[in-house]
Amino acid sequence: MGVTVRSSESGPGIVGRLAPSPTGGLHLGHARSFLIAWLMARGAGGRVILRVEDIDASRVRPGMAELAMLDLRWLGLDWDEGPDVGGPSGPYVQSARLDRFEDALGLLKRQELVYPCTCTRAEIQRAASAPHAGEEGPIYPGTCSGRSARDESRLRGRRFAWRFRVGTGMVGWDDLFKGPIRSDPARVAGDFVVGRSDGAPSYQLAVVVDDAGMGVNQVVRGDDLVSSTPRQLLLYRAFGFEPPQFGHVPLVLGPDGRRLAKRDDAIKLSTLRGLGVDPARLIGTLGRTIGLGEGEPARPSDWVGLFDPASLPAGAPVLDPAAW
């Protein structure tokens, strides 16, 4: 199959994406992030792709992909390409694209940009001292970095992951919402996994290959993924792909100050839909948190061309499930 980049036949228009993971029901936080991503693309006259990110097979729950699409359409969001409508860049389910990820990993191996790592999580925890902890836990200490990709053949019978060589230096981008950001990937997590020990691709690898292959040039997502962006930019550079615009929005919090999570059944979109909540009322409430309206009922299509990224509040919004 090869590692490919899709070029737009209709010019350099905006191509955004909605990428739910079928590990549980979507909640109000997802709804807000997806609404912003949709408005950013549609407001620029662009296209929207829906992709199901299901490579973490151990966490996938049956029926969740279909439920996510139902919830998003209930909200009034649509897409031009996706599992249910097809399109030129299918399949639109990551588990059906494994050959592309294998090809991408093979390219990194040939370039000696990755190496096999036999370290367990417990070993990394023990090797990384507290003063060197990164934003996401212990920084990988480089225990296996002396290996080359060719050493794979000497590790038959042993479980190992593939790590990308980060190198040194800052990586930066101009975030659509947060402005200029610079980060040193080596100080965040160090050399990172692109191929897991169970043979599956990592999130970092899969999302870069898929976004490039589908022609996505605008990625809007929660700011919990800010630390992933430098690593993804390194992969774009390694593959020779043009990176998309990145924009990171604050996560929604509950009244207790904790971020909303899929485990909170009371705030899942399917729960609200089952209770007969008017989606226009929900959209109106979300709109108020992104600088659109005063909470009056609305549909996403009412706001196409009206959303201004500069009007997005910098703080995390608080939504109370009891209000529904």
> 42-88, pLDDT tens digit by residue?
999 999 999 999 999 889 999 999 999 999 999 999 999 999 999 99
For 135, the token pair is 């934003």
SS3 199: coil
**Has residue 211 got a pLDDT over 60?**
yes
pLDDT tens column, 135-151: 456 899 999 999 999 99
CA angle 289, 294, 297 (to 5 degrees): 95
221 labelled as ligand-binding? yes
For 147, the token pair is 């290996």
280 labelled as ligand-binding? no
Q: What is the mean pLDDT of residues 309-319?
A: 93
SS3 252: coil
299 labelled as ligand-binding? no
Our measurement of the distance from residue 275's CA atom to the centroid of its chain's CA atoms, rounded to an integer in Å, reads 29
Return the H-helix or E-strand segment holding 231. Answer: helix 229-239
pLDDT tens column, 255-265: 888 888 766 65
Residue with tokens 């929207």, as numbered in its chain: 48
For 297, the token pair is 């009922």
Which domains are present in the chain?
15-96+250-323 (3.40.50.620), 100-204 (3.90.800.10)
Q: How many CB atoms lie within 10 A of CB 265?
A: 12
Nearest CA to 138 out of 183, 192, 184, 181 is that of: 192
What local confidence, expressed as pLDDT, does residue 130 receive? 40
Catalytic residue among 109, 178, 262, 268: 262
CA distance 30 to 27: 5
119 labelled as ligand-binding? yes
For 96, the token pair is 């059906």
Q: What is the mean pLDDT of residues 214-219?
A: 98
255 labelled as ligand-binding? no
What local confidence, expressed as pLDDT, does residue 265 receive? 57
286 labelled as ligand-binding? no
Catalytic annotation present for 268: no
Nearest CA to 66 out of 87, 93, 96, 34 is that of: 93
- For the CA atoms of 73, 79, 85, 90, the dihedral, rounded to the nearest 10 degrees, stands at -130
296 labelled as ligand-binding? no
- The residue type of 135 is E
Side-by-side strand order, sheet with 114-117: 114-117, 161-164, 192-195
